Amino acid sequence: MKNAPSRLIGFVWLLALGQVQAADPSVLRFYDETNMRHLSLSSEGLGSTTVTVRAASDPGNAGTWVGNGDRNDKSLLFSRIVGEGEDRGTVFLAEISESKVKIDYKPGQREPIDAGINGEYRRTSETKFLQLTKKEFQAANDRLIESLKLATKSWQTSDRPALMLWKAQWPDLRERWMNAAIEKPTLPVDPKVKTAQPTPTDKPAQYWIYLAQATAQAFYFVSALPDPKTGLGWDGEYDDLGGGHVSLRLSKDGKLRVSISSQRINEAEAGTLDATAPADKVMKDKNGDLSAEFTVIDPEITDPSKLPRIRLKKIGRYLQVETEQAQRSAGRGWFDGIYRGSPVPEG
């Protein structure tokens, strides 16, 4: 039997939870301390139980395995949740007691596939779960600090100004990430009723998981260097720390075709902004630095003062994007930030 957290399949971006909320009494939590894996059993009624496993050995890991099955007292047969018409694959057997859960393959299967969830998990309280998630965030933050120290040496000299800008933008970027991750419930407001504002100590475990995941995206971005084939010109594909993409192509007549997309946490569709910068707005100064600033023409916007504006600046192999009045196209996400370059795909 293999207990390889790195082989978790059936990944779900972030945790398939729409909002940060208080502990649900129908959810039982367990933890595998050896392999740093979280297990939750969620009762869906009539014996139906959802099984969620997330590996935390890499702090802020967003990959989860999610399955479902029917529980019969202390036994639960379950398999991966898949789309309509897909094969659910391997069937697992969970033996459940008050203090632990042990997962193995259902006996008699031919060549069951290891999903990285087999093994033993010990029951953990909500208080302990909260402590573990805070600890995971701290580990992710420590790793980001170390990644930033290494980046000051590993990034090419021409790229380092982009690193400095990214560091300055990180606090605001993290806040944007959390606002996208946490869907705040809409409640009726009674002006006669005063409600206490939550304090940092009120934050539930799910909040700290989202914060760890945002921080993980940050240290992945800082640690990954651009493809060596990335050029210093405009043409290329550019990605930020998660869900943002820019495609640039400079035509022979000097015009710059720009396509920006943003698909952040919990968004089914990407927000997009496509435009062409006129040749006279695509600049190259005496030092060879490239920049462009232009207004996006949108026939649906009749007031010229409300048209989106885009500012682009190449910094080594990175791209800085700044926008104004573009939120209409970005959805719950955003376009602004530092993007890491890669070359135009061949063919």
pLDDT per residue as tens digits for the range 42-86: 998 887 999 999 999 999 998 899 999 999 989 999 999 999 999
Q: What are phi and psi of 260, to 5 degrees?
A: -120, 135
E strand or H helix that includes residue 94: strand 91-96
At residue 336, does pLDDT exceed 50? Answer: yes
What is the model's pLDDT at position 12?
Answer: 36
Walk me through the domains of the chain, giving residue ranges and CATH numbers. Answer: 5-132 (2.40.128), 226-342 (2.40.128)
Mean pLDDT of 175-198: 62
At residue 145, does pLDDT exceed 70? Answer: yes
Instruction: Give me the percent of the chain exceeding a pLDDT of 90.
Output: 76
At residue 186, does pLDDT exceed 50? Answer: no
What is the model's pLDDT at position 25?
Answer: 56
* Helix 205-223, helix 126-154: angle, nearest 10: 20
d(C-alpha 253, C-alpha 236), whole Å: 18
Q: What are phi and psi of 164, to 5 degrees?
A: -65, -40
What is the model's pLDDT at position 180?
Answer: 86
What is the model's pLDDT at position 185?
Answer: 46
E strand or H helix that includes residue 137: helix 126-154
At residue 17, does pLDDT exceed 80? Answer: no
Residue 313: CB partners within 8 Å, gap ≥ 6?
289, 290, 291, 292, 319, 320
Are 70 and 91 in contact by the 8 Å Cβ rule? The answer is no
What is the model's pLDDT at position 47?
Answer: 78
What is the model's pLDDT at position 5?
Answer: 40
Mean pLDDT of 139-146: 97
Among 141-145, 193-197, 266-270, the range scoring the smallest mean pLDDT is 193-197
pLDDT tens per residue, range 283-331: 999 888 999 999 998 888 888 889 999 999 999 999 999 999 999 899 8
Size (the chain), residues: 347
- Mean confidence (pLDDT) of the chain: 88
What is the model's pLDDT at position 256?
Answer: 98
pLDDT tens per residue, range 93-142: 999 999 999 999 999 999 999 999 999 999 999 999 999 999 999 999 99
pTM for the full predicted model = 0.83
At residue 13, does pLDDT exceed 50? Answer: no
Mean pLDDT of 211-221: 96
What is the model's pLDDT at position 332?
Answer: 85
Mean pLDDT of 5-20: 37
Instruction: Give me the percent of the chain exceeding a pLDDT of 70.
Output: 87
A 10 A CB-CB count for 50 gives 17
